[in-house]
Amino acid sequence: MGLDISGIGERYDVRYAWRAAPILGSVALVVMYTEAMLLPSLPKIQEEFNVTPADASWILTVYLVVGTISAALFGSLGDMFGKKRMLVLVLSIYSVAVTFTGYAPSFPLLLLARGLQGLGMAMFPLAFSLIREEFPPEMVPTAQGIVSAMFGAGIIVALPLGAYLSQSFGWRATYHTVTPFAVLLTVLIATYIRESRYKTPRPVDYVGIGLFALTASSFLVAVSEAPTWGWTSGQTLAFFALAAAAGAALAAQEAISEHPFIPRDVLNRNVAAATIAIFMVAYAFQMSAQNLSYLFEMPPPYGYGLDILSTGLHMTPMAVVQIVGAPIAGRLLWRVGAKRMSVAGVVLAVLGFQLASAYAYSGVWTLIGYLSIAYLGLALLNVSLINLLTFSVPRNRLGAATGLNTVFRNFGSAIAPAVAGTVLTTFSTIAYYSLGGFQAYFSVPSTSAYSINFDIATAMFILALVPIAIAREVFTREGRAAAAAAEA
């Protein structure tokens, strides 16, 4: 039921593809390694620069805002001027940014460096597009699985290592370890990766780019800062209103533009299904990470009383599941089909999160076991959705389509901490301790708070079945015609 791959050897260089796959996959490894190492260091950064927690939150917000805009922008520019060219440009800037972050002398300059680091998110759509464009079709799902596995590998390495480096040598040391890898990856891609064969030169839609940037930045700032400002505060509502107005103007602009920033021919039902579902996958991933951080580190009986390093180590089995599961899912995709694998991913995610909700306090390893089931579901979804998308659009539109997919992944990643944090704060209880004759009271999340967060993710996955159901399968006899048309 897969694609007809006769004659593949004449059009594709299989040896090159196998050499290029780990290089392009390392893009995800380097970026996730960098970002995951930052998390344990946030308290130390806040202390060094003497800033408030609200100020420190901008370390994440500015990265997310710039990253979301750059993913869509450079994805489209890759279609126009060459994906390798844009990938090398972005990686070069990223290498400089991570180096400067480690030496930033002041908090404003740190935020500037973090903003430049946000360009790293543009590497994902460009790498995914190069894989789909240059690799033999039967190799694409496996290669995409390798890239997805690298996300988990970056987290496995970064969480314990980042905590150790930050505690032992200071938070700046975490960034110093990133620079050589970023530079090496830039050189490898510039030297060994071939430029894309499919380009579509066209005028730049500056108005569309500006409106998209305003929409995305306003929405992400509102969501990211809402827990600090308050969901009903004037600032939050103003940014949401600005995002809505800019979004409406963007829709009008893209409808009438002769060369829209978001090409209209990529907006099919498969792209919509993959984009909506990946939003929910990203939400679930970020929510569960935040849920576990609190549950593992809260003192007994409200949590498991682990330190930061132990928390990172206990999260590694779930990342291992992703590393192992994603490439296997890629190899099975031709036999199973993207839609059926997506449904299987939803079923596993729902099962895992519901078991974790019901047995959150049944022991650390019991909880990890149930969440590993959920993370296997997330791995299946990651692989099936990116392939559903990349096999459903013309190759000269891959950058724009995967860039849009990354945008919605970032939206899910931004909303999750805000919503999950609000739930943990709203559904809280007062803990009491006697310390050396003194009575100490403090607020901690209640046992129901963690279950509510898992239940919200479960509901989102069930809703994701709707767009998946209406998507058109591309890994079947019927889907061959659509895939052939996309390659034309």
User: Within a domain: residue 276?
Assistant: yes
User: What integer best gives the mean pLDDT of the chain?
Assistant: 83
Q: What is the pLDDT of residue 11?
A: 66
Asked whether residue 317 is domain-assigned, the answer is: yes
Q: What is the pLDDT of residue 35?
A: 80
Give CA–CA dist 284/288, Å, rounded: 6
Tokens of 100: 């400067």
Q: What is the pLDDT of residues 439-468, one digit of tens each?
A: 666 777 888 888 999 999 899 889 889 989
Of residues 466 and 481, more confidence is placed in: 466
pLDDT value for 477: 58
Q: Compute the half-sphere exposure of residue 228: CA atoms within 13 Å on the CB side of its CA.
A: 14
**pLDDT per position as a tens digit, 18-64:** 888 888 888 888 888 888 777 767 777 878 888 876 677 788 888 88
pLDDT in tens, 272-317: 889 889 888 888 888 887 788 788 888 888 888 887 677 777 878 8
Q: What is the per-residue pLDDT for 97?
A: 93
* Overall average pLDDT of the 394-420 stretch: 82
- Please say if the pLDDT value at position 90 is more than 80: yes
Q: What angle is formed at CA 258 by the lines to CA 255 and CA 260, rounded to 5 degrees?
A: 60
CA distance 214 to 456: 29
Place 234 in a pLDDT band, splitting at 50, 70 and 90.
very high
How many C-beta atoms lie closer than 10 Å to residue 272's C-beta? 16
**Beta carbons of 83 and 390 less than 8 angstroms apart:** no
φ/ψ bin of 341: left (φ > 0), alpha (ψ from -120 to 50), beta (otherwise): alpha
Q: Hey, what are 193's tokens? A: 């990766």
Question: In this structure, are residues 350 and 462 in contact, taking their beta carbons and an 8 Å threshold?
Answer: yes
Residue with more model confidence, 162 or 370: 370
Residue 346 CA, distance from chain mean position? 18
pLDDT at 336 over 50: yes
The residue type found at 47 is: E
Lowest-confidence region among 69-73, 95-99, 356-360, 472-476: 472-476
**How far is the C-alpha of 22 from the C-alpha of 30, rounded, in Å?**
12
Task: Using alpha carbons, select from 131, 269, 223, 284 the residue that is nearest to residue 414.
Answer: 223
What separation, in Å, do the N-terminal and C-terminal C-alpha atoms of the chain show?
20
What is the extent of the structural domain holding 340? Answer: 8-204+259-487
Distance of CA 215 to the CA centre of its chain: 19
Place of tokens 């967060």: 453
pLDDT at 8: 40
Predicted confidence at residue 403, as pLDDT, reads 83
pLDDT tens profile 103-144? 999 999 999 999 999 888 888 888 888 887 777 777 788 877
Using omega within 30 degrees of 0 as the cis cutoff, is the peptide bond preceding 301 cis? yes
Which CATH number characterizes residue 339's domain?
Answer: 1.20.1250.20
pLDDT over 70 percentage in the chain: 90
Determine the pLDDT at residue 98.
92
Structural domain count of the chain = 1
Where does 13-139 have alpha helices with state H? 14-49, 53-56, 58-81, 83-103, 107-117, 123-134
Given this model, what pLDDT does residue 435 score?
A: 59
* Residue 444 backbone dihedrals phi, psi, to 5 degrees: -135, 155
User: pTM score, two decimals?
Assistant: 0.80
